[in-house]
Chains A and B, each alone.
Chain A
Amino acid sequence: MKKLLFALLFLVSAVLWAQQPPAQINGPYAQEIISRFGAVETLQSKFTQEKHLTLLAEPVPSKGTFAFSKKGARLRWEYTEPFQNGFLMDGDKTYRLEKGVKKEVKGVMSHHVASQMLVWLTFDLKTLAETYDISFFEGGVTLTPKNNDNRLLDKITVWFAKDNPQALSEIRLDENGGDYTLLKFSDTQINQPLPKDAFL
């Protein structure tokens, strides 16, 4: 009987635990993350990207760098291998980078993608909470789009860097249908002066 009660209790606890609402950003842990990442003024890092797509015969790795400046809401995301391209976001303007040369793009979608990247990379939890349901796990966060209409991503998983409380170590973007992209960051420098030509 005790075993049965214990099993029942365990089941109820499991169900209750499973039914807990996603962690809210007004919780102490979320607030600590907001204040930690909110203090980031500049950010630069290297990254590797692995695309696992049905369109690709096998996963393809890419490499690149990115730089961010909170002042002016600037972000430079640039691949160095296998192609040299990327984008640069400067306030409300978005540019495409082709072999280091920037060209303004007017499409809403490009700007949308760039804006999303800015929010993910800087881990702006307040903005993320507007469009994603947020649930924390040890060492990271899972973001699930609130709106099901035309959503591109199934979920986004973010891992914090163990050696740097203000940096991310990985982001996994899960698309509908099983495709996913894995971004890994290294040599992340927080609040260090950025090269003068970082956004030129």
Chain B
Amino acid sequence: MKTIFLPRKTLCLCAVLACAAVCGALLTRVKPQETVHAMIPAAVREKVELFEHSPLNKKIFAVVRADTAEKAAKAATALRQELTDANLVRAPFTPRPDFALELFYALPPRFTEQDALASKQILSPEYVSQKMRENYEHLLSMEGLLLKPLIAADPLGLTGMMTYKLAALGAGTGLDFKDGFLSSSDGKTLIALYDGTGEDSFKRAEDFSRRFNAIAARLGDNIQAFYLGGLRYTAENISVIRADLWRVTILALAALAAVFFIFLRRKSALLIYLLPFVILPPAALVTYAVFGEISGITLGFGSVVAGLSADYSIYLFFALQKGQRSAQETVRLLKKHLLCNFMTSALCFAALFCSSIELFKQIAVFSVTGLTCALLLALYVFPPFWTNTDEAVSVPVFPVSPLPKKWAVGAACAALVFGAWGVTHTNFSGDIEDLNSTSAAFKTQKAIFDEAFSQAANDNALVFVKGSSVENALENNEHASAFFPAPLAAGGVVPSAKQRAENAGRWKAFWTANRTQYARLLIEEESAKLGLNPSAFAPFWQQLKNPAPDAFDFTQIYNPAVQLSNGAFAVVNVVPNTAEYEASAKRAGAVFVSGAGLKKELLAGVRGEAVKIVFLSIVFNFLAVLLVFRNARETLLCFIPVVLAGGFTFGCFWAFGVKVNLFVLVFLPLLTGLGIDYGIFQVMKFRSAKGDRIIYPPAALWTAAFSTLAGFGVLAFAKHGVLFIMGLSSFLGICGAILAAQFVLPALLENKKCVR
């Protein structure tokens, strides 16, 4: 097979660069997106999304901590005032003095069957006597100033039914709520919940952070004030990713420069360093075209693709240097190897594409596009530039000797044991929190927050009932309510229009003329005994006969309806976090989400994805390499660097106490791809005719490994948890793979007499 290079090499290179520049220019118009959803396995994505729609999730939590409860209360009140005045938050709901009266007038459209039953029971001479005496006692107390209108409108205390419904919304949270603040048991930590006043953009997050901190600084000495919530995560995460991109890019460039001066040392080899600039813009554009968005993490993965993509050119460069053959002849000899390498890498990314994690799909498309470009450049554009003998510079020779057979087997066994121990003892985390990157100050503040809130979070769960519209979701919620040990609280306060009409009808049907007359008799009898004026209860009789319109907007206290990303709606209910409620939700077709349960499911989902991806990448690669070599032994030997590198990496995770997040998943198929590449390199070398082995110098393998480390391993210096774990994994994995390929595999290849 004759390889035809593109004619007019310089012109061709200029065209390639121009294409890359156009792609780069277009890329500047693309805004990277960051959502946690893209990082979550599909099986739990819905629950994560629903969890994010919990009533508290969209809130801004303003936390104030002081050395005394009094100071905390004063500071929290001042902070609330300033935040509201500065229009940073919406003014929180504060009940007016006539709030109880508003609750009473809101009862008829919320008058359930249970309320009707309870009302029947209270229409007894004993109850009315006791209630009227209580009313009288209240009227004579100072609280009577507040209670007088309510007593006149509701002498029987029916408002209690509404307060019960409201209380049920936060039932079991166990939180002390005072003066609009959630309070720790000692009162020194107060938390206020606010709604923001704008979009959750990075710009707004930065602006909010700056202005909040300025206000917090004015609150006084010994008073700590901070905020948490989505806005804070946005500010923390994106600033970390931005800083990381700069740090990683600078480090990668420095490392690549070192690789150049140590291994390549030829002007024309600089073409290899053009690769990132040439292949990454089109790769990013293709990814954006496929998904309609691109994540910052996918772009961060560019350094990985750059490292991987350089390998084809590096192998060709060294082959041309060492082989003393024409470019066409060298490419012909190496083509099979390069295609095999490309195929294994592409198949690893194909396995990643099979994952249900959206971000992994992006990374797969991004990487395969980049690698395709790199391969085409290596085969058809670069070789003519590397045959110029005038440029010859001494390339270092690496006299690498493989380990003796016994040592190699011993090292392999040690790596396997180390890895097995590491896999079973490494600290795997399925916590979404670990996908966020936050400052040390944030972590300290979060601990303060958790101290006050963690119990409430553990004791409660959320039940989501979905619908095509708010009304539909409310109706479905009402149907689902029947499956639970107690009615779902949201429906009690915010019923559907249909339910409101039904409840109002029930109210009218209940307060018949006879029953009203009976109530009147009881009240008048007790009024006469106590010295109350019976005509003062006129508002009550009016409400029984002709209920006032349902005017109070309860959603200003609690809005149970949320809109999901797919346009559907869900009603959120806070319920006790028990197995009984979980089973009820399942029967009702509702979604039960608890914080602890979600973590477990996420971890299980991540493990499932990991097994699937690794399994697929191994199967794909095994079949592909077998197809190329048509030799099971050699195919299996290609996996030696993969297995040993995996063992080495997980052993190191355990040994250094690394907390591994779900993004180690990205690394696993990559490790398979890289390790197999090194294995293929060595097997190809041993399969080659003796004279052709020269085109597989150890320096090529080392250079490929170091350039990948330079591009990829530098991610270990990133602060972002996701980039860090990907970088560290690859650093350890590449080190393990190259060591196994250079020192262990050759010994085993000789042993198996693979040399031809």
Contact = CB atoms under 8 A, between A and B. Distances in A.
Contacts of B536: 54-55
Given A60-B140, A92-B70, A113 B145 contact: yes
A113 B177 CA distance: 18
A150 interface: yes
A56 interface: yes
A56 B531 CA distance: 6
- Size category of the A interface is 20 to 34
B141 A117 contact: no
B531 A113 contact: no
A55 B155 CA distance: 11
A107 to B, nearest CB: 9
Contacts of A185: none
A53 B151 CA distance: 12
B187 interface: yes
A41 interface: no
A147 to B, nearest CB: 12
Q: Is the interface of A mostly helix, strand, loop or mixed?
A: mixed
Interface stretch (B90-98, B256-264, B620-628): B90-98
Interface string B140-177: 11111110100110000000000000000000000011
A49 B531 CA distance: 16
Contacts of A175: 145, 148
A86 B142 CA distance: 8
A55 B179 contact: no
A67 interface: no
A155 B179 CA distance: 26
Nearest to B97: A150
A108 B141 contact: no
Given A85-B137, A92-B73, A53 B531 contact: no
A55 B148 contact: yes
B29 interface: no
A55 B151 contact: yes
Contacts of A58: 531
A110 B142 CA distance: 9
Contacts of B73: 92
Nearest to A98: B137
Given A58-B531, A108-B179, A152-B145, A53 B139 contact: yes
A170 B69 CA distance: 34
A56 B141 contact: no
Interface string A138-170: 000000000000101100000000000000000
A85 B96 CA distance: 25
Contacts of A113: 142-143, 145-146
Contacts of A57: 527, 531-533
Interface in B533-550: 533, 536
A53 B527 CA distance: 14
B753 interface: no
Interface stretch (A1-9, A31-39, A75-83, A191-199): A75-83
Given A55-B532, A60-B531, A152 B146 contact: yes
B178 interface: yes
A83 B152 CA distance: 21
B148 A86 contact: no
Interface in B69-113: 69-70, 73, 95-98
A109 B97 contact: yes
A150 to B, nearest CB: 5
Given A54-B533, A56-B531, A92-B187, A108 B178 contact: yes
A169 to B, nearest CB: 18
B142 A77 contact: yes
B139 A55 contact: yes
A68 to B, nearest CB: 14
A46 interface: no
26 contacts: A49-B140, A53-B144, A55-B152, A55-B532, A57-B527, A57-B531, A58-B531, A60-B140, A79-B140, A83-B140, A85-B137, A92-B69, A92-B73, A106-B176, A108-B178, A108-B179, A108-B180, A109-B97, A109-B143, A109-B146, A113-B142, A150-B97, A150-B98, A173-B145, A179-B148, A181-B144
